[in-house]
Every structure is written in C-alpha cells, then in structure tokens.
Amino acid sequence: MNNNNTLCSLCNKTLKNLRGLHIHQKAVHQTNTKSELFLCPHCSHAYKTKGGLCHHETFKHYNYNIPGDFFKLPQNHINKKKASLVYLIRSRLMLHSNHLGPQSVSSPMTESEFVCIFQNHIQRYSIC
C-alpha cells in the first residue's frame, strides 16, 4: 500500500487519501434518515439525492409529471398557436427545400403551449 493510501475500516476498500475515504464513507456507509431522503410522490421509492429522484421520475413516471394545469389553455388559443407554427414550418421548408438533412425551427411559446400542442407526442416529460 502506498503511504498516501487509506483503508476503509468498514469494508477494507483502499482509497487514495483521507478526503477520498471521507467521501466514500459518507456515500457508501452513511445511512440517511427519513427526513434526508427524497421520496417519490408516485411510488414508495426513496433516493439519497434530488438528482436520483429526478432521474427515477423521468424514466419511470414520465406520464405523471405533466402538470394538469397545462391543459387549461383555451382551445382557440392552442389552435392559433398551432396554425402559426405550421405556417412557420411550411415557410422554412419552402425557403430551404434544396437543403438535405435536419432542419430546425424555433418559435417562442410558453411551456404550457408547447405541452398542449405536442401532448400526444411527448414520450418523456421532466420538470427537473
């Protein structure tokens, strides 16, 4: 063992230095209390970090993450936004019809408008 290496007394893992040992013991051996855990509101899973919970929600409960108030926009507003988006896409296609490959289009809209327009095409939605 190198002079700088440190051995974990709990699992005998060799780490490079005391800082590494501290990080290892906190991440691997420290048990979180209930108040320190991030609980999934959809199931019984609990995570040590908010990032862990966000990852879980994104891939396991993506349909549940679309807030219900997104669907409260007036239908005529959504229809107008769709029409302007279709017009924009058609205009871009006509201008760049001789270009091959992916084309991008950007249109200012709120998150609510986006979700209302593309709700049947969204496969994963995360608020994280």
Closest by alpha carbon to 124, among 66, 82, 70? 66
State mean pLDDT over 3-15.
83
Burial class (CB in 10 A: 0-12, 13-18, 19+), 34: exposed
Per-domain residue ranges for the chain?
1-30
Distance, in Å, from the CA atom of 96 to the CA atom of 94, rounded to the nearest integer, reads 6
User: Residue 33: is its pLDDT beyond 60?
Assistant: no
Report whether pLDDT(126) > 90. Answer: no
- List the structure tokens of 103: 């084309």
Q: Give the pLDDT confidence score for residue 80 in this predicted structure.
A: 94
Half-sphere exposure of 91 (CA within 13 A, CB side): 9
> For the whole model, what pTM was predicted?
0.44
Closest listed residue to residue 81, CA positions, set 43, 56, 111: 111
Strands 6-7 and 14-15: antiparallel
pLDDT at 1: 47
Each residue of 40-80: pLDDT tens digit? 877 778 888 888 888 887 777 765 556 666 667 889 999 99
